[in-house]
């Protein structure tokens, strides 16, 4: 079990992620909503593992009809893994995945929440599922990083871009959409597209009509569009499709952004104050054994990156305050306060909710009882040598190893605590 730290030692931030969705026709007149999300590596809390480092997080979804009686919710457990902390920093990893929900036509409010052990973020959006069966219709336009074709099945594999942000150094943008309701004859359909500057609404690119042979009532369209000459900014990709047998026309549009190249990846930077520098590397007081072993295995450069990342997830100022308090309050002879049992427990768990002391009873060594009511933990410290250095004799915290002093508890203490 991971060590439980008092909330003030943990930095709870809003987890930032990208979310996009596209609606396609499904069976039984329903729509299939595909959701795509992307979580940057620096938003997740990693733990060392046997095959690199990993982060556990959950993806929770609530989809409730606004004008239709339908609701669905669920939670997916996910695991993101990278080979090493340095590799994640160097390549600025983003974890991209997707899931889908099948629902009848209508308008829906969707809430997607991604959370790990420290942080949580929520995006709320409105999704409209059209009735694809009543007329010529288009699916959503999915703007992607790449479109691959499975040579075995002939199906397309679309690599999502949940943020719909494209690097200005990129050569191409990929688009995918589906057409429904074509007259299933031997005729043709055609499509054309526009790129509009979203700010000025000026046409930046206008294509000629592309004519294709129909092969039934449905068509799948993939497009590779060069964007290397487009300036940075926000754009609208607009599509127009016509069934040439019926002259029915339908259109759809999607927004995207072209931005400047990503900066050269840099390790985390964290500049501690002179007071914080004294304790900046003392992870052993709050890190888990796996975290500490992973940190000790890193090179000097890797350790600096890991320290900066670690303290972006934990409250260094509160840690320093506890270390200073423990140093002054629990010093015993030549033993520094942070190296005593009471000092170590104070740093890890914070100020106890209550403390009881027994110091004057016959044949009973002085002891202190620390109670953490919110955590449900009790600590029994005993001055075994009469030198004022109270040693931890017993605790019910599962994160603490056996002390070897449990035999010093009185029968009354055994009945009360064990």
Question: What's the pLDDT score for residue 167?
Answer: 85
Lowest mean per-residue pLDDT among 105-109, 209-213, 359-363 = 359-363
Task: Give percent of the chain with pLDDT exceeding 90.
Answer: 60
Per-residue model confidence (pLDDT) at position 362:
67
Which pLDDT tens digit goes with each residue over 260-299?
765 544 555 667 788 888 899 999 999 888 888 888 888 8
Mean pLDDT of the chain, nearest integer:
88
The CATH class, in words, for 135-266 is: mainly beta
| pLDDT tens, residue by residue, 99-156 | 999 999 999 999 999 999 888 999 999 999 999 987 899 999 999 999 987 777 777 8
DSSP conformation class of 324? H
Nearest-5° Cα angle at 283, 277 to 289:
170
Q: Which tokens hold the place of 288?
A: 């888990």
Contacts of 262-270 with C-beta under 8 Å, sequence gap 24+, read 262/92, 262/167, 265/89, 265/90, 265/91, 265/92, 266/89, 267/86, 267/89, 267/301, 267/304, 267/305, 267/308, 268/42, 268/89, 268/305, 268/308, 268/309, 268/312, 269/308, 270/307, 270/308, 270/311, 270/312
- Which of the pair, 109 or 1, is modelled with greater confidence? 109
User: Considering the entire predicted model, what is its pTM?
Assistant: 0.79
- The yes-or-no verdict on residue 44 having pLDDT over 80 is yes
Of 288 and 248, which is predicted with more confidence? 248
Residue 4's pLDDT is: 45
What is the reported pLDDT for 350? 93
* Within this chain, domains 1-130 and 135-266 share the same CATH topology: yes
In this structure, CATH architecture of domain 1-130:
Sandwich (2.60)
Q: Would the pLDDT of 80 be above 50?
A: yes
Residue among 68, 219, 217 at smallest CA distance from 130: 68
pLDDT in tens, 302-360: 888 888 888 888 889 999 999 999 999 999 888 899 999 999 999 999 999 999 998 76
DSSP assignment of 11-49 equals ---BPP-EEEEEEEE-STT-EEEEEEEEEEGGGS--EEE
**Band (2; pLDDT cuts 50, 70, 90):** very low
The pLDDT of residue 365 is 87
Q: What pLDDT score does 35 carry? A: 97
Q: Which pLDDT value is given to residue 269?
A: 61
- Each domain of the chain, given as residue ranges in start order, spans 1-130, 135-266, 277-417
Q: What is the pLDDT of residues 152-198, one digit of tens each?
A: 777 788 999 999 999 877 778 999 999 999 999 999 999 999 999 99
Q: Which region, left, alpha or beta, applies to residue 21 given φ > 0 means left and ψ of -120 to 50 means alpha? A: beta
Q: CA 17, CA 160: separation in Å to the nearest integer? A: 14
pLDDT grade for 1, boundaries at 50, 70 and 90: very low
Q: What is the pLDDT of residue 344?
A: 95
User: What residue has token string 């007071």?
Assistant: 275
């Amino acid at each position: 079990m991971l060590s439980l730290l008092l909330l003030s030692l943990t930095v709870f931030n809003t987890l930032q992620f990208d979310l996009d969705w596209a609606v396609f026709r499904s069976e039984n007149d329903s729509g299939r909503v595909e959701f795509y999300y992307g979580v940057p590596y620096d938003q997740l809390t990693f733990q060392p593992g046997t095959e690199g480092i990993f982060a556990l997080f959950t993806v929770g979804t609530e989809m409730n009809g606004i004008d239709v009686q339908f609701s669905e919710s669920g939670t997916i457990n996910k695991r993101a893994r990278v080979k090493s902390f340095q590799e994640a920093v160097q390549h600025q990893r983003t974890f991209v995945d997707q899931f889908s929900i099948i629902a009848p036509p209508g308008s829906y409010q969707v809430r997607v929440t991604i959370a790990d052990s420290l942080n949580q973020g929520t995006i709320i959006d409105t999704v409209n599922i059209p009735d694809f069966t009543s007329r010529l219709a288009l699916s959503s336009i999915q703007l992607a990083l790449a479109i691959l074709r499975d040579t075995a099945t002939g199906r397309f594999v679309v690599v999502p871009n949940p943020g719909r942000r494209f690097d200005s150094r990129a050569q191409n943008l990929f688009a995918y959409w589906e057409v429904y309701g074509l007259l299933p004859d031997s005729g043709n359909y055609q499509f054309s597209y526009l790129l509009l500057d979203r700010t000025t609404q000026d046409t930046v690119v206008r294509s000629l009509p592309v004519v294709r042979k129909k092969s039934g009532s449905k068509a799948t369209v993939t497009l590779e569009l060069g964007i290397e000459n487009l300036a940075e900014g926000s754009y609208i990709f607009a599509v127009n499709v016509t069934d040439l047998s019926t002259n029915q026309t339908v259109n759809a549009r999607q927004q995207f952004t072209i931005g400047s190249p990503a900066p050269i990846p840099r390790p985390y930077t964290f500049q501690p104050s002179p007071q914080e520098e004294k304790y900046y590397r003392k992870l052993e007081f709050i890190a888990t054994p796996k975290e500490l072993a992973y940190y000790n295995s890193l090179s000097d450069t890797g350790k600096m990156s890991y320290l900066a990342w670690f303290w972006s997830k934990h409250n260094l100022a509160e840690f320093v305050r506890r270390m200073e308090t423990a140093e002054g309050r629990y010093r015993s002879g030549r033993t520094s306060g942070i190296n005593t049992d009471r000092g170590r427990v104070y740093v890890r768990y914070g100020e106890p909710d209550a403390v009881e002391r027994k110091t004057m009873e016959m044949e009973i060594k002085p002891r202190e009882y620390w109670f953490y009511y919110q955590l449900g933990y009790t600590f029994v410290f005993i001055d075994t040598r009469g030198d004022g250095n109270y040693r931890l004799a017993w605790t019910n915290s599962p994160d603490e190893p056996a002390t070897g002093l449990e035999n010093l508890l009185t029968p009354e203490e055994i009945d009360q605590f064990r």
